[in-house]
Amino acid sequence: MIDESNSEEFDSDSTSRTESKLSDELNRLLHSLGSPNIDTVSGVFGLWQELVGEQVATHVTPIKLDRGRLLIEVDDPAWSTHMKFLERDICTSLSHHTGTTISGIDIRVKSGRANS
């Protein structure tokens, strides 16, 4: 026979409320730091490969989203040029999927890149 007197009850409603409170607190913290909310950040970084494709994602990494501008890092200067051509499409797609305006992309070339 199972002794239920010491078992903890799982309350999905209280878990949901706790997660909601945590999300609200994270969003307040991000806002106070001048950052977008957690849903926007997770959308940009979480959807990156899906939105840009595997080949681009292999060479281009999102680094930071600040005041509507996305900083990306490329592993080769040639990708910097390529990303300038894709900037408008990527900004439009990210804005659509995250519900926030991504106004532009800033590009940096990864330091310490081995010469080929």
pLDDT tens digit string along 24-74?
A: 776 676 556 555 555 556 667 888 898 899 999 999 999 988 888 999 999
Tens of pLDDT, residues 75-100: 999 999 999 999 999 999 988 988 88
Amino acid in position 29? L
Q: Which architecture does CATH list for 36-109?
A: 2-Layer Sandwich (3.30)
Q: Is 62 exposed, middle or buried (0-12, 13-18, 19+ CB in 10 A)?
A: buried
pTM above 0.85, yes or no: no
Higher pLDDT, 71 or 8: 71
Q: Residue 79's pLDDT is what?
A: 97
Contacts 24+ apart (CB under 8 A), 47-51: 47/94, 47/97, 47/98, 51/90, 51/93, 51/94, 51/97
Enter the DSSP assignment of 76: S
